[in-house]
Amino acid sequence: MELSQAATRYAILRKRNQMQLEIDPELNQQALAEAAERYPEFAGRARTVKALPLFRGYAWQVEWAETPPPAGQDAWEFQNAAIRAYKRLASITG
C-alpha cells in the first residue's frame, strides 16, 4: 500500500472512531456524588466526567471546575472513583 493510500485509510478510520460518547448528565452527577462521598475534599470541585475519543476506545477523565486542577494522589483517586462509578451506572465495560 502506498503512503497516500495508507494516510487516507488512517484518516477514515480515525474519523470513524472519533464519535463523541455522550455523557448522561444525571448519571454524571450521581457518579461525582459517589466519588465525593469517599473524597469529600473534592465535592463540588469537579464539573463532569468526560470520555475523549482515541484511535481505539476512550480516555476517561474528570473535568475540574478550577484551573489548575487539584494535585496529589487523592485527586487521582477521586477521578478514578468518579469514572468507575459512571461506567458502572451507565453499564459501560472496558
The reported pTM is 0.78
15 located within any domain: no
pLDDT digits (tens, 9 = 90+) for 8-61: 554 554 555 556 688 999 999 999 999 999 999 999 999 999 999 888 888 999
61 located within any domain: yes
Minimal CA–CA distance to 61: which of 48, 72, 70, 44?
Answer: 48
Grid cell listed for 77? 483517586
Position 93 scores a pLDDT of 85
- The structural domain count of the chain equals 1
CA 82 to chain centre: 9
80 located within any domain: yes
59 located within any domain: yes
Which domain covers residue 30, as residue numbers?
20-89
Position 10 scores a pLDDT of 47
Neighbours of 32 (CB within 10 A): 23
Distances (CA, A) of 2 to 6, 7, 8, 24, 43: 6, 9, 10, 42, 53
Residue 62 has pLDDT above 90, yes or no: yes
